[in-house]
Amino acid sequence: MLLSVQDLAVRFHTEDGTVHAVNRVSFDIDAAETVAIVGESGCGKSATSLAIMGLLPPAQASIAAGRILFAGADLVRLPEKRMREIRGRDISMVFQDPMTSLNPVLTIGRQLTEALSAHERLEKGALNARAVELLRGVGIAEPERVIGRFPHQLSGGMRQRVMLAMALSLEPKLLIADEPTTALDVTIQAQVLALVADLTRRSGTAVLLITHNLGVVAAMCQRVLVMYAGYVVETATVDEIFDRPLHPYAVGLLHSLPNFEDSAGDDLVPIEGTPPDPLEPIRGCPFAPRCAWRIAACWQENPPLAAEHGNPAAPGTHAVACHNPVTAEEALKGAPLRPGFMPAPAPSEATAR
Amino acid sequence: MSQPQESMATGAEAPPLLSVEGLAVHFPITKGALWQRHTGAVRAVDGVSFAIDRGQTLGLVGESGSGKSTLGRALVRLNAPSAGVVRFQGQELPGEAGAATAALRRRVQMIFQDPYSSLNPRMTIGAIIGEPLAIHGIGNAAARRDRVRELLETVGLPARSMDRFPHQFSGGQRQRIGIARALALRPDLVIADEPISALDVSIQAQILNLMKRLQQSLGLAYLFISHDLAAVRYISNRIMVMYLGRIVEAADAADLYARPLHPYTVALLSAAPVPNPKVERSRERIILAGDMPKPSETQRGCRFRGRCWLFRRLGAPEECQTRDPKLMPLSRDRSVACHFADRVDGRVEQAATTGAGE
């Protein structure tokens, strides 16, 4: 086990109140494994990755509970000095927007060699040669010219690849990629994903991939965590989540996606409503207000993640946090099929009747 | 130019809702601060022709820098065309402002990618949606309020939203507001520029379904501009693929995905991962080398050849290096701009794009 996140809870402190961004999140990643966290904005996927990196803004955020075990050490309790050594050398991160993580006033070459020299002792000439080689490795044409440029002189796709080169430069044990291809065109996305896959194969780097793109998940990952409103609502192998999703939110996400076979005649099944206001305290299951499968208990109690429907061939890979999981037939249809089933009304509506 | 009018007069065939011929948008490149010298031009849109029929959706796909947004904006004159003719129901859209132009332009509206920046944060939703009506002097204040209420209902928002401000709404709700504003003047054609790409997945489906419902009930035509190939497939009847200012392939939606004929279309479809792990494990992706060249860099021959897998496979044919391929009709419904489109057909690369090559 390379990384083990146990019962992680992250809070954001805002003027308007406390946001429970991450709640009781647990998962493991092995070496050379690619694990996805899937979810929409505000689901806690980025806060989880920032917590692992020790990059939560200290004035606004805190880790309220939990442990993050990496190579035997608990990163939550590690002093900043030790954490700085781990960042870059053992754990690297790439973000959606490369402009925020590149220094706008330093050349690409300078930034790459600085990252390299912070962890490795090399002469200046050797550092430069290594920087050029790294850029070539991420598919940048004419790297000798690119090292003399500033970030704003490069296209978005080039910047993203520069950042990837920086993240990969030290062959980290763990790469956290937060929506690494969301801002990129599909052809550049294909280049970047091929690079990441190549790295896991070559140097056994584990990848935590944070994305909302289920196509990328299918192409890259072995396991998936689905997050909603700060909770992991389902965890499964990549085949399980696409073949046999159990949580109504996971089913909803899959049916929201048009695919190449859909034609203008078929209707998508969207998830109605919007995610909950992060400042509002949640009673019961956070997905209940949007859920077509909800029963009375869903308004009362937030269900824990439980492996009740484990795949007998690989026990323990599939777990869901749901009072009324979706059946196989319903998952195909995208709607509850039990005769006469109606989503349970909210308690206030029920008493009003 | 007189031909369409003639055919209209004889009633032989009704002209399409919108027809575009040889449209070009060039942005000058200037040097010098005081005496700005023109040193070249960015040929963002470089001679594009197409038509959209009433009630139909034409999809426009391409990468950033392909010119697809510039093309959409040129149709509502947010970018001034450098050349070409745009006809609305056979009537030419003049370049200059005037009463006739204004009347035509009312019938073409636009919705934008970013519902956060395309709505004025200081205006109420009622004022935002009612603004086009006020500008065109339609109805009195009370009538406009009624129309806004009706529009809100059409896009699935409560009437009480009227007195609220944009920041009080989520991204999906803001896009609904943008759609309501576009519908205020009862347009025939709506240009939708990446209308769902800033939205979460579960919300994207809501907006796509809303757009389809509105099309059925109001008989709208759409030009749907997106880099999301699956979304374009879902909503479009016909699709055009754009590369460096040119249309490189145009086809009926189902045909384009089942049998792409331009090497760029093949690469684009192959690059997009599909949400199916079994298909993903079995398919071979075509990785295009490098980025799209800048539209200011003029080159002889085919503009895609620097990244083209077929060009390399065929051993760099002379023709691709010297002759710029024109968009040629292969059949009634399909056109391709490639000297070697016949060599794409039936190749493993083509079959592998949709996972059908297993």
Residues A264 and A299 in one domain: yes
Does position A61 have pLDDT exceeding 80, yes or no?
yes
- B277 with A215: Cβ contact below 8 A: no
Does position A227 have pLDDT exceeding 50, yes or no?
yes
Q: Tens of pLDDT along A32-56?
A: 999 999 998 889 998 999 999 999 9
pLDDT above 90 as % of chain A: 52
Per the CB < 8 A criterion, the answer to whether B17 and B52 are in contact is yes
> A274 in contact with B at a CB cutoff of 8 Å?
yes
* DSSP secondary structure letter of residue A313: T
Distance (Å, whole) CA B115 – CA A140: 34
Among the listed residues B224, B136, B210, B142, the one whose alpha carbon sits nearest the alpha carbon of residue B180:
B210
Residues A33 and A154 in one domain: yes
Distance (Å, whole) CA A205 – CA A31: 6
The ipTM of this complex is: 0.83
- A214 with B236: Cβ contact below 8 A: no
H helices within B184-340, ranges in order?
Answer: 201-218, 229-235, 253-258, 263-271, 277-282, 309-313, 318-322
**Which range of residues forms the domain containing residue A302?**
227-352
What strands lie across the sheet with A319-320, from one edge to the other?
A91-94, A174-178, A206-211, A34-38, A223-228, A231-237, A319-320
pLDDT at B153: 93
Closest CA of chain A from B5, distance in Å = 33
CATH number at residue A345: 3.40.50.300
In order of A252, A287, A290, B209, B341, the CA distances from A270 in angstroms are 7, 14, 10, 8, 38
The confidence band for B11, taking pLDDT boundaries of 50, 70 and 90, is very low
Q: Tens of pLDDT along B112-161?
A: 887 778 899 999 999 999 999 999 888 899 999 999 999 999 999 999 99
Mean pLDDT, residues B13-36 taken together? 84
Closest CA of chain B from A37, distance in Å = 14
pLDDT at B292: 73
Interface of A with B in 199-218 (CB under 8 A): 212-218
Mean pLDDT, residues A263-275 taken together? 74
pLDDT at B96: 61
- B275 with A257: Cβ contact below 8 A: yes
SS3 call for A6:
strand
Q: How many CB atoms lie within 10 A of CB A323?
A: 21
Distance (Å, whole) CA B46 – CA B153: 41
- B271 with A41: Cβ contact below 8 A: no
Our count of domains for chain A comes to: 2
**Would B165 be classed as within a structural domain?**
no
Closest CA of chain A from B144, distance in Å = 28
Which residues in chain B have their CB less than 8 angstroms from residue A191's CB?
287-288
**Mean pLDDT computed over every residue of chain B:** 87
Distance (Å, whole) CA A60 – CA A13: 5
Which residues in chain B have their CB less than 8 angstroms from residue A257's CB?
201, 205, 230, 275
Residues A214 and A248 in one domain: no
Residues A160 and A283 in one domain: no
Residues A153 and A278 in one domain: no
Distance (Å, whole) CA A120 – CA A201: 23
Q: Tens of pLDDT along B191-216?
A: 999 999 888 888 899 999 999 999 99
pLDDT at A297: 96
- A158 with B291: Cβ contact below 8 A: yes
Q: Chain A to chain B, count of Cβ pairs less than 8 Å apart?
A: 144
SS3 call for A273:
coil
Residue environment code for A304-313, b if the CB has 16+ CB neighbours within 10 A, otherwise e = ebeeeeebee
- A188 with B274: Cβ contact below 8 A: no
Of A221, A245, A274, which residue constitutes the final position of a domain? A221
- A252 with B234: Cβ contact below 8 A: no
pLDDT at B39: 72
Residues A300 and A205 in one domain: no
Closest CA of chain B from A255, distance in Å = 9
Which residues in chain A have their CB less than 8 angstroms from residue B288's CB?
187, 190-191
Mean pLDDT, residues B231-252 taken together? 95
Residues A264 and A331 in one domain: yes
Among the listed residues A232, A344, A212, the one whose alpha carbon sits nearest the alpha carbon of residue A291:
A344
Picking from A259, A268, A271, the nearest residue to B274 by CB comes out as A259
Residues A305 and A344 in one domain: yes
**Mean pLDDT computed over every residue of chain A:** 88
A60 token code pair: 């606004």
A214: nearest CA partner in chain B: B275
**Would B278 be classed as within a structural domain?**
yes
Residues A152 and A28 in one domain: yes
Of A174, A190, A221, which residue constitutes the final position of a domain? A221
A258 token code pair: 């048009």
Mean pLDDT, residues B168-176 taken together? 90
Per the CB < 8 A criterion, the answer to whether B223 and B20 are in contact is no
Residues A215 and A241 in one domain: no
Our count of domains for chain B comes to: 1
B199 token code pair: 């939205």
**Which range of residues forms the domain containing residue B314?**
266-358
Torsional class of A74: left (φ above 0), alpha (ψ -120 to 50), beta (otherwise) = beta
Residues A205 and A289 in one domain: no
What residues form DSSP beta bridges with B52? B18
Does position B256 have pLDDT exceeding 90, yes or no?
yes
Of A199, A221, A243, which residue constitutes the final position of a domain? A221
Mean pLDDT, residues A318-326 taken together? 94
SS3 call for A147:
coil
pLDDT at B3: 42
> A313 in contact with B at a CB cutoff of 8 Å?
no
**Would B351 be classed as within a structural domain?**
yes
Closest CA of chain A from B173, distance in Å = 9
B276: nearest CA partner in chain A: A218
User: pTM for the whole thing?
Assistant: 0.87
Interface of A with B in 144-183 (CB under 8 A): 155-158
Per the CB < 8 A criterion, the answer to whether A178 and A104 are in contact is no
Which residues in chain A have their CB less than 8 angstroms from residue B253's CB?
263-264
- B291 with A264: Cβ contact below 8 A: no
C-alpha atoms less than 13 angstroms from C-alpha of B347 in its C-beta half-sphere:
22
Residues A30 and A58 in one domain: yes
Which residues in chain A have their CB less than 8 angstroms from residue B304's CB?
none
